Chains A and B, each alone.
Chain A
């Protein structure tokens, strides 16, 4: 199934949440949707799932615009930060509902297994759960879905390190068992980066970058060494940013130089560093 977004625009009052966003999510795999607070990540996912309506542009599924149609919408699930479940709903009941709604697109046993693995009390009402367990509640449902598009918005919110690791493991397990388009929107870039096959970076409502994980690794480098040597060497590159520790300077540049002089250390820029350098404001870069 081919999902594409064409020229999506959305404003909330005076705030431009999305500006002319065009994207394609065609190949099954894990997509990392990255962006700073207010970059438009949640709005984008909400628009795909028709929870929010764009001012202009269209979301197309196999060439047809997604409308108010059950057949199309039942192919999507969004596990979001906001809890849309009834406050007094228990996990065991939510599982029954999910089975009723998605039919064979939902693996009830898997959901119950995930809840058990995370130590979620299936008989406890969602309102009585902590933030972390509310996240587990929603994630366990989303992970057990066998539908073409599953979106996770802040899926590790409030989870401890052990549960986060478990979530990533189950996400990989799920994606390899039932290939589908999984979009993970998170601020924990370092943790999610090893899982992601394709990155989409949003900045101020626009798509700043869309690259595969391999291209992302090869996109930028850091050059570290004495300030004068670094400055003279990186002058011919596009510089993303700089940081200083004493007399040492690290410059973040686009490209992978292979002719660095002795005394300079060149390394691939990890995704988190690249993200920071790409999305820093001028003030932040100067600080």
Chain B
């Protein structure tokens, strides 16, 4: 019973990934041309960043669109909400794995094409996880790290989209404006605050995201599970 909705969602999403990656590869091919024409850019070219940020935004948007498509398909073709959510979550997990793999292959390639500009990926550079060992262990660690990061982002998008689906027009306005406002207010407060509570939260976030690769992966996994469970709670009576 799960196979058909899973297949439908997955094929649709993989098609999206194919389009997305065609665009990225196009950009990649464009890099040597840009470098040849504008050699002064070499040191500050975009390849200092990574594909992660693109991929994160992409999988977030993919998750946003998955909820409605999936739910409607289940309604038309006689499937339960449980199956709708499960097929949506599973297909996003597969997409996260595919994106993580593609990024892990294309990032070094991008590095080579951009004439050896050191490349470790923007997000990974921020966290500066100590990774030692052979090139294979680098590849494997980055792959796993990306996979859990993309999973968490996808489930976050899925949860937000589920919330959005359940709200009426007024509710949506209030929710999204409040969401933005909270972010705008919290950002300066988090820099300025010196209360022990803020430090405790910051410490917890640091522990979850930056203590080690495996701690990060576990935190992302827990977040993904909670977000997908929340999505199911929201969609079961949608």
Interface of A toward B, CB cutoff 8 Å:
49-51, 53, 67-71, 73-77, 84-86, 97-98, 100-102, 147
Q: Please indicate the chain A residues that have their CB under 8 angstroms from the CB of B5 in the complex.
A: 101
Contact flags B3-20 to A (C-beta < 8 A → 1, else 0): 111011000100000000
Q: Please indicate the chain A residues that have their CB under 8 angstroms from the CB of B4 in the complex.
A: 97, 100-101
Q: Does B83 contact A (CB under 8 A)?
A: yes
Given the known inter-chain contacts A51-B75, A74-B1, A97-B73, please indicate yes or no for A69 contacting B80, CB distance below 8 A. Answer: yes
Q: How many angstroms from the CA of A84 to the CA of B8 in the assembled complex? A: 15
Q: Please indicate the chain B residues that have their CB under 8 angstroms from the CB of A98 in the complex.
A: 77
Q: Does B170 contact A (CB under 8 A)?
A: no
User: Do B7 and A73 have beta carbons less than 8 Å apart?
Assistant: no
User: Do A76 and B236 have beta carbons less than 8 Å apart?
Assistant: no
User: Do A70 and B77 have beta carbons less than 8 Å apart?
Assistant: no
Q: How many angstroms from the CA of A101 to the CA of B69 in the assembled complex? A: 15
Given the known inter-chain contacts A101-B77, A102-B78, please indicate yes or no for A70 contacting B1, CB distance below 8 A. Answer: yes
Q: How many angstroms from the CA of A70 to the CA of B86 in the assembled complex? A: 12
Q: Please indicate the chain A residues that have their CB under 8 angstroms from the CB of B76 in the complex.
A: 77, 84-85
User: What is the CB-to-nearest-CB distance from B209 to chain A, in angstroms, rounded to a whole number?
Assistant: 35
16 A-B residue pairs with Cβ-Cβ distance under 8 Å, sorted by A, are: A68-B80, A68-B236, A70-B80, A70-B83, A71-B1, A73-B79, A74-B79, A77-B76, A84-B76, A86-B69, A86-B73, A97-B8, A100-B7, A101-B5, A101-B77, A147-B78
Contact flags B224-236 to A (C-beta < 8 A → 1, else 0): 0000000000001
Minimum CB distance partner of A94 in chain B: B76
Extra 14 A-B pairs, beta carbons < 8 Å, given A68-B236, A70-B83, A97-B77: A49-B75, A49-B78, A50-B80, A51-B75, A53-B237, A70-B79, A70-B80, A71-B1, A73-B78, A74-B77, A77-B78, A97-B73, A101-B4, A101-B77
Minimum CB distance partner of B8 in chain A: A97
Q: How many angstroms from the CA of A73 to the CA of B73 in the assembled complex? A: 13
Minimum CB distance partner of B82 in chain A: A68
Q: Does B146 contact A (CB under 8 A)?
A: no
User: What is the CB-to-nearest-CB distance from A46 to chain B, in angstroms, rounded to a whole number?
Assistant: 9
Q: How many angstroms from the CA of A265 to the CA of B82 in the assembled complex? A: 60
Minimum CB distance partner of A97 in chain B: B8
Interface core residue of B69, B72, B80, B82 (most chain A CB under 10 Å): B80
Q: Please indicate the chain A residues that have their CB under 8 angstroms from the CB of B237 in the complex.
A: 53
Interface size grouping (class) on chain B: 20 to 34
Q: How many angstroms from the CA of A197 to the CA of B83 in the assembled complex? A: 35
In-complex Cβ contact of A101 among B72, B79, B80, B236 (8 A):
B79
User: What is the CB-to-nearest-CB distance from B81 to chain A, in angstroms, rounded to a whole number?
Assistant: 5
User: What is the CB-to-nearest-CB distance from A9 to chain B, in angstroms, rounded to a whole number?
Assistant: 16
Give the dominant DSSP class at A's interface: loop
User: Do A75 and B73 have beta carbons less than 8 Å apart?
Assistant: no
User: Do A84 and B236 have beta carbons less than 8 Å apart?
Assistant: no
User: What is the CB-to-nearest-CB distance from A84 to chain B, in angstroms, rounded to a whole number?
Assistant: 4
Given the known inter-chain contacts A84-B72, A85-B72, A85-B76, please indicate yes or no for A68 contacting B8, CB distance below 8 A. Answer: no
Minimum CB distance partner of A77 in chain B: B78
User: Do A74 and B78 have beta carbons less than 8 Å apart?
Assistant: yes
User: What is the CB-to-nearest-CB distance from B79 to chain A, in angstroms, rounded to a whole number?
Assistant: 6
User: What is the CB-to-nearest-CB distance from B85 to chain A, in angstroms, rounded to a whole number?
Assistant: 10
Q: Please indicate the chain A residues that have their CB under 8 angstroms from the CB of B7 in the complex.
A: 100
User: What is the CB-to-nearest-CB distance from A77 to chain B, in angstroms, rounded to a whole number?
Assistant: 6
User: Do B69 and A68 have beta carbons less than 8 Å apart?
Assistant: no
Q: How many angstroms from the CA of A84 to the CA of B74 in the assembled complex? A: 9
Given the known inter-chain contacts A68-B236, A74-B1, A86-B69, please indicate yes or no for A102 contacting B75, CB distance below 8 A. Answer: no
In-complex Cβ contact of A100 among B8, B75, B80, B81 (8 A):
B8
Given the known inter-chain contacts A97-B8, A100-B7, please indicate yes or no for A73 contacting B72, CB distance below 8 A. Answer: no
Q: How many angstroms from the CA of A77 to the CA of B75 in the assembled complex? A: 9
Q: Please indicate the chain A residues that have their CB under 8 angstroms from the CB of B72 in the complex.
A: 84-86
User: What is the CB-to-nearest-CB distance from A264 to chain B, in angstroms, rounded to a whole number?
Assistant: 53
Q: Please indicate the chain A residues that have their CB under 8 angstroms from the CB of B8 in the complex.
A: 97, 100
User: Do A102 and B77 have beta carbons less than 8 Å apart?
Assistant: yes
Q: Please indicate the chain B residues that have their CB under 8 angstroms from the CB of A85 in the complex.
A: 72, 76
User: Do A76 and B80 have beta carbons less than 8 Å apart?
Assistant: no
Task: List CB contacts (< 8 Å) of B69-107 with chain A.
Answer: 69, 72-73, 75-83
Q: Please indicate the chain B residues that have their CB under 8 angstroms from the CB of A74 in the complex.
A: 1, 77-79
Minimum CB distance partner of A53 in chain B: B237
Q: Please indicate the chain A residues that have their CB under 8 angstroms from the CB of B69 in the complex.
A: 86
Minimum CB distance partner of B236 in chain A: A68
Q: Please indicate the chain B residues that have their CB under 8 angstroms from the CB of A84 in the complex.
A: 72-73, 75-76
Q: How many angstroms from the CA of A166 to the CA of B77 in the assembled complex? A: 24
Minimum CB distance partner of A75 in chain B: B78
